[in-house]
Structure 1
Amino acid sequence: MAEFLSEYALALAMIVSLLVGIFTGYPVAFLLGGLGILFAFIGDIPLPFLGTVGSRIFGGVIENWLLIAIPLFVFMGLMLERSGVAQRLLLTLQRLFGRIHGGLAVSVAILGIVMAASTGIIGASVVMLGLLALPVMLKQGYREEMACGVIAASGTLGILIPPSIMLVLMGSILQVSVGALFKAALLPGLLLGALYIAYLLITAWIKPEWAPLADPDSVDTDTTPLPIALLRDLLGPFLLIFAVLGSIMAGIATPTEAAAIGALGSLLLALATRSLDYRTLRDATRETSRTSAMILFIVIGATCFSVVFKRLGGDYMIEDLITGTGLGPYGLLLLIMGLIFVLGFFLEWIEISYVVLPLVAPVVEMLDFGLGLSSQGILVWFAILVAINLQTSFLTPPFGYALFYLKGITEGQVSIGTIYRSILPFVVLQLVGLALCLLFPALVLWLPGLIS
């Protein structure tokens, strides 16, 4: 142990410094880049090597055409959020499920699934669902834990269900097809949504006072026949989802081209609903720029951090830690999943993806799980397992961003302790979904194999 600590002292110090720096509240992008430069000098790394860091950033990261899909998908999600589609769909779903206990919560979960396949923006989804559904649920008498939990969990489905920004970045990091990742993530994402709905219905059946029935007069305010209302409110999102995901899965368009189709489609949808004006376009463009810049800065900082970390022996340290356990392939996979789950309490999914994945992916790629998969197939399966795992990072305290988005819109009506308690069942459900995809790889790999 002493020999291990002395050999990898600087690499361990980088990890500890990163965790300590995160707790200080310093911007993560600058923290990652700053630690990379600082430890390059501490480790007496030659200055010419730092030039390769710049080459890696500008020649390998920023010039990646796949990253163009990120601002396009962000813009698509923001325009959809402002088009009023979600509000109309929630009211219609409430009419559909308003006669059963927990019907409004189920409507929120279904809306989360539909909007996840249309937007993929976590902050926008959680805020939108919270503003639309939380006041109604509390007024209807829902228990605060159930109302907050379903809003936070359903809003995070967009990070897994394609088109997902996280899957775009993972494809770039792992050098696997983003289209394959989109296909592989679809069933696990729907599985999580189904688990949420099953939990809500069972809980409402056991404890009906947690999810009381709605007042019929408040549900049936729309006089449009229900089938026509469902068709009207689902048609726009369905066509957009079909245009984006269908073009990717059919091999007609690359993810970047499909993102452009989605951005144009969201503009046309906003125009059709008469919600497109200068202010909406300006706000969506500004928020797209801000979100894309934040992601890009973190990518640049994480690249600097990981390059220096590897130069100091960090990749060999991780490999020694993983392979030195004596565990089999599945034991090592469980160990990595546990590590990522714990890191999710403190780090964002972008940092984990860019710092951890490049270190552990080569180890996982060489493992024999007895599934008869190619190295690319193993990486696709592994990426989806990591994506499901990272979805919990939005919900787990102390830095679960979905929790703080939700807290920000409650205006003091709900305590942070209540919000923390509300997400516990949904974190367990996500871990159940992760376990199912780990035990039954066909849940992940069946659709890519079928379509290809």
Structure 2
Amino acid sequence: EFWWKAFSTGETNQVDSAWGPLLWPARTAMPVGGFLLLIQGIPEVFRAFHKMGKERERKFVMALPIYLIALTWLVLAIFLPDLVPGGAAFTEMMKASPSLDKATIGLIMMGAMLFVIFIGFPISFTLIFLAFIFGIWGYNFFFSTFLMTLGTNSTMLNDQLMAVPLFVLMGIVMESAGLMERLFSSIQMIMSRVRGALFIAVLIVSTIFAAATGIVGASVTMLGIMAGATMTRAGYDTKLAAGTITAGGTLGILIPPSIMLIVMGPVLEVSTLDLFRGAFIPGALLASLYLLYTLGRCWINPDLGPILSDEDQPDTSRFYGAEVALICLGVLTICRVFGLGLGGTFGGFIPFGGLFALIIIGTIAYKAYRNLSILRIALPIAVLFHLYMIFANIGEDGSLPIMSIVMGAFILLLAYLGRIIYSAEADKDFYFSNLWDEFFAGLMPPTILISFALGSILLGFATPAEAAAMGAFGSILLAIGYRKFTFSNFFDNLMKALEITVLIMFLVAASNFFGAEFSALGTPKLMTEMLLGLEMSPYLILLMVMALIFLLGWPLEWVPIVLIVVPILLPTVQSLELHGLSSYDTMVWFGILVAVNLQTAWLSPPVALSAYFLKGVVPNWDLKDIYIGMMQFMLVQLLGLALIFIFPQLVLWLPRVMAG
């Protein structure tokens, strides 16, 4: 229809293009692509048919004529209603059922949906079927088919969802190339002299991996494979280890670029960029709370996370503290000079200025890393450079920002710790250990890639879709650089990304249809009036909403909750008059509350899904111990959720500041 309209009328694009091209050549891709997809589907049907087995093949063949007749009737009734007037007859048949008001029909539809999903029916097809049947009951056949088409079309035209397949591909490529395993081993080596080093490594890797994938199941599974056996061999407490892995894995729900936040943006009708910015501080807060809890437990009881054995520790020089200080100072210097180059400080075209600065400072740093004499010259220059940049921030009244003072003190501390390179002993006993080679090869590249993709979103340099494209392309380059790239493996990665994307997009389209029917029946308005009619504080009503989402988070994945439950509850939340918050701020805050709430539900027995993911890859850990470990972190999670609920500015401050 779109193609024929453009072809027959000579429609042109006068909005997005100055020269007004004809639209029908581009729209030709729609019918041609649909036809080719249909042809491709025919051999897939036969392939699936022969995998069914003889008995199921026989039943399938018997039911096939009925299915084809019903499908043909449905298609003709939709597209040729004058030729096949079946839609009106079906509507009359449904109208013959008990007469109820539309809002009550919507309540019955919601109850049927929850019941059918809980007993295990596929969510997408359940939503489509129920919305279609109850839509006909409440309205008519043609209204339901119109909403179905509209919901699917609006989903496919939503440009915010373009980031989903690209971020999924980025995480899958990084996982299959072994980048996360190398990242874990590098952090483990660097933190090997610290009590609870493996806990720290798991939490750091989970934070980075969460930013790469945004998929909880993948994060928990990968962390369990990487760290489970190592923690057991090192004598770590099983309960605390299981809690650390599952809690770290759930960060994928929250930390940008979370797939859930990308999907939630259109549902809440807010910018995905604002959700990303709003999730940044809560994500860092929760990761910090996890880290403080694990290190505190290890400090109180050292047996929970003993220092790694000598064979698991890398060889280092006598002055390991000086190594750490000088590496930190070097990394800070490179980042600051590169930032100045990107900011145009060195003149010329900005990207080339940043690249030129990075090449120069990287070369100097590498020479200093390999040669002690050059390092002795570079250290005072780096310290003076940082001090100059700090004092350049002095205001007109002579004041210096607090952050500049803290940064200056940190630089001087690093320089003081690195002073050993000027002693006579340094010539004989000081050198940079091999673990720093692993640090630069295993830790820095994926961290820089993810930071660049995420930073470009948060700073407004790129849309989520553009940043996702850069991240996916960068992950492919890293796989090539690590010599882990093969075309067969890449094809498998594309297929995995396609499967996950199709699952998500189909659910989004189905839930849009269900939500449109539900709203048209007027049930959300009825529920909102009932809740607001109660003489309760709006914050207490919001707590009730969050409690319901928490309970539903036990048996359900985030997809049905975000796409089905949240739209049902949304009118109620939008009607709450929360002190000091605009309606838009309320939606951003509510979105992050939902994300943190679902994290908590994933850590809450008896149906905590993270426990089963972990048990599947570490079978020697008892499920009871996994539950006990998760419960500890669930309490930490509840503390974080309470802080975000009490202080909405933890969510709203960064979006406001970065939006000017």
TM norm structure 2: 0.64
Structure 1: gaps of 5 or more residues = none
Please report how far the alpha carbon of residue 408 of structure 1 lies from its aligned counterpart in structure 2 after TM superposition: 1.6
The answer for the alignment partner of 1:351 in structure 2 is 560
More deviation, 64-73/117-126: 117-126
> Is this contact kept in 1: 2:219–2:250, CA < 8 A?
yes
> Is this contact kept in 1: 2:102–2:523, CA < 8 A?
no
More deviation, 100-109/320-329: 320-329
Q: Which amino acid aligns with 2:168?
A: V
In structure 2, the CA distance between the partners of 1:399 and 1:73, relative to structure 1 (3 Å rule), is farther
The answer for the alignment partner of 2:202 in structure 1 is 108
The answer for the alignment partner of 2:295 in structure 1 is 201
Q: 5 Å matches for 1:213-232? A: 213-220=307-314, 224-232=433-441
1:374 has 2:582 as partner: yes
Larger radius of gyration: 2
Please report how far the alpha carbon of residue 11 of structure 1 lies from its aligned counterpart in structure 2 after TM superposition: 3.4
In structure 2, the CA distance between the partners of 1:29 and 1:419, relative to structure 1 (3 Å rule), is farther
- Select which of 439, 461, 473 maps to 1:252: 461
Q: Deviations along 1:6-58, whole A, 9 cap, x unmatched?
A: 985443333333333233222222222222234335x3431122123223222
Please report how far the alpha carbon of residue 445 of structure 1 lies from its aligned counterpart in structure 2 after TM superposition: 1.4
SS for the counterpart of 1:176 is coil
- Select which of 546, 564, 572 maps to 1:363: 572
Q: Deviations along 1:42-88, whole A, 9 cap, x unmatched?
A: x3431122123223222321221221110000000111112222222
> Is this contact kept in 2: 1:91–1:219, CA < 8 A?
no
1:93 has 2:187 as partner: yes
> Is this contact kept in 1: 2:242–2:626, CA < 8 A?
yes
Please report how far the alpha carbon of residue 419 of structure 1 lies from its aligned counterpart in structure 2 after TM superposition: 2.4
More deviation, 24-33/185-194: 24-33
> Is this contact kept in 1: 2:281–2:651, CA < 8 A?
yes
In 1, Cα distance between the equivalents of 2:182 and 2:279? 27
In 1, Cα distance between the equivalents of 2:148 and 2:534? 36
- Select which of 426, 439, 442 maps to 2:646: 439
In structure 2, the CA distance between the partners of 1:200 and 1:95, relative to structure 1 (3 Å rule), is same
In 1, Cα distance between the equivalents of 2:610 and 2:506? 21
- Select which of 211, 233, 243 maps to 2:452: 243
More deviation, 194-203/395-404: 395-404
Q: Which amino acid aligns with 1:395?
A: L
In 1, Cα distance between the equivalents of 2:606 and 2:551? 11
Please report how far the alpha carbon of residue 327 of structure 1 lies from its aligned counterpart in structure 2 after TM superposition: 1.6
In 2, Cα distance between the equivalents of 1:348 and 1:433? 21
Please report how far the alpha carbon of residue 221 of structure 1 lies from its aligned counterpart in structure 2 after TM superposition: 7.0
1:154 has 2:363 as partner: no
The answer for the alignment partner of 1:21 in structure 2 is 116
> Is this contact kept in 2: 1:187–1:443, CA < 8 A?
yes
The answer for the alignment partner of 1:165 in structure 2 is 259
The answer for the alignment partner of 2:498 in structure 1 is 289
The answer for the alignment partner of 2:612 in structure 1 is 404
More deviation, 150-159/44-53: 44-53
In 2, Cα distance between the equivalents of 1:232 and 1:94? 14
In structure 2, the CA distance between the partners of 1:339 and 1:90, relative to structure 1 (3 Å rule), is same
Please report how far the alpha carbon of residue 159 of structure 1 lies from its aligned counterpart in structure 2 after TM superposition: 1.6
> Is this contact kept in 1: 2:273–2:464, CA < 8 A?
yes
In 2, Cα distance between the equivalents of 1:91 and 1:219? 11
Q: Deviations along 1:294-338, whole A, 9 cap, x unmatched?
A: 112222222232223233332023213421332222222212111
SS for the counterpart of 2:212 is coil
In structure 2, the CA distance between the partners of 1:292 and 1:324, relative to structure 1 (3 Å rule), is same
In structure 2, the CA distance between the partners of 1:73 and 1:415, relative to structure 1 (3 Å rule), is same
The answer for the alignment partner of 2:593 in structure 1 is 385
Q: Which amino acid aligns with 1:256?
A: A
Please report how far the alpha carbon of residue 205 of structure 1 lies from its aligned counterpart in structure 2 after TM superposition: 2.4
Please report how far the alpha carbon of residue 395 of structure 1 lies from its aligned counterpart in structure 2 after TM superposition: 3.0
> Is this contact kept in 1: 2:315–2:434, CA < 8 A?
no
Q: Which amino acid aligns with 2:589?
A: W
> Is this contact kept in 1: 2:102–2:138, CA < 8 A?
no
In 2, Cα distance between the equivalents of 1:265 and 1:71? 15
TM norm structure 1: 0.92
> Is this contact kept in 1: 2:193–2:313, CA < 8 A?
no
In 1, Cα distance between the equivalents of 2:302 and 2:533? 51
Please report how far the alpha carbon of residue 283 of structure 1 lies from its aligned counterpart in structure 2 after TM superposition: 1.8
Q: Deviations along 1:225-272, whole A, 9 cap, x unmatched?
A: 444543333321232123212222222211111111111111111111
Q: Which amino acid aligns with 2:243?
A: G
> Is this contact kept in 2: 1:187–1:444, CA < 8 A?
yes
Please report how far the alpha carbon of residue 397 of structure 1 lies from its aligned counterpart in structure 2 after TM superposition: 4.2
More deviation, 131-140/11-20: 11-20
Q: Which amino acid aligns with 1:237?
A: P
In 1, Cα distance between the equivalents of 2:507 and 2:541? 28
More deviation, 89-98/125-134: 89-98
In structure 2, the CA distance between the partners of 1:247 and 1:8, relative to structure 1 (3 Å rule), is same
Please report how far the alpha carbon of residue 224 of structure 1 lies from its aligned counterpart in structure 2 after TM superposition: 4.1
> Is this contact kept in 2: 1:87–1:132, CA < 8 A?
yes
More deviation, 132-141/248-257: 248-257
In 1, Cα distance between the equivalents of 2:141 and 2:163? 34
**Larger RCO (alpha carbons 8 Å, 6+ apart):** 1
In 2, Cα distance between the equivalents of 1:387 and 1:323? 24
Structure 2: gaps of 5 or more residues = 1-99, 317-431
The answer for the alignment partner of 2:484 in structure 1 is 275
SS for the counterpart of 1:118 is helix
In 2, Cα distance between the equivalents of 1:168 and 1:399? 26
SS for the counterpart of 1:117 is helix
> Is this contact kept in 2: 1:299–1:354, CA < 8 A?
yes
In 2, Cα distance between the equivalents of 1:155 and 1:16? 32
Please report how far the alpha carbon of residue 344 of structure 1 lies from its aligned counterpart in structure 2 after TM superposition: 0.7
In 2, Cα distance between the equivalents of 1:53 and 1:19? 21
> Is this contact kept in 1: 2:151–2:510, CA < 8 A?
no
> Is this contact kept in 2: 1:365–1:379, CA < 8 A?
yes
The answer for the alignment partner of 1:451 in structure 2 is 658
> Is this contact kept in 2: 1:349–1:393, CA < 8 A?
no
> Is this contact kept in 1: 2:132–2:145, CA < 8 A?
no
In 1, Cα distance between the equivalents of 2:524 and 2:262? 24
In 2, Cα distance between the equivalents of 1:172 and 1:112? 27
Please report how far the alpha carbon of residue 391 of structure 1 lies from its aligned counterpart in structure 2 after TM superposition: 2.0
> Is this contact kept in 2: 1:69–1:260, CA < 8 A?
yes
- Select which of 63, 66, 73 maps to 2:157: 63
The answer for the alignment partner of 2:632 in structure 1 is 425
The answer for the alignment partner of 1:326 in structure 2 is 535
1:134 has 2:343 as partner: no
How many percent of aligned residue pairs carry the same amino acid?
A: 39
In structure 2, the CA distance between the partners of 1:219 and 1:318, relative to structure 1 (3 Å rule), is farther
Please report how far the alpha carbon of residue 361 of structure 1 lies from its aligned counterpart in structure 2 after TM superposition: 2.7
Q: Which amino acid aligns with 1:215?
A: S
The answer for the alignment partner of 1:123 in structure 2 is 217
In structure 2, the CA distance between the partners of 1:362 and 1:430, relative to structure 1 (3 Å rule), is same
In structure 2, the CA distance between the partners of 1:324 and 1:208, relative to structure 1 (3 Å rule), is farther
The answer for the alignment partner of 2:282 in structure 1 is 188
> Is this contact kept in 1: 2:592–2:651, CA < 8 A?
yes
More deviation, 319-328/178-187: 319-328
In 2, Cα distance between the equivalents of 1:421 and 1:15? 35
In 2, Cα distance between the equivalents of 1:229 and 1:128? 20
Q: Which amino acid aligns with 1:403?
A: A
In structure 2, the CA distance between the partners of 1:396 and 1:14, relative to structure 1 (3 Å rule), is farther
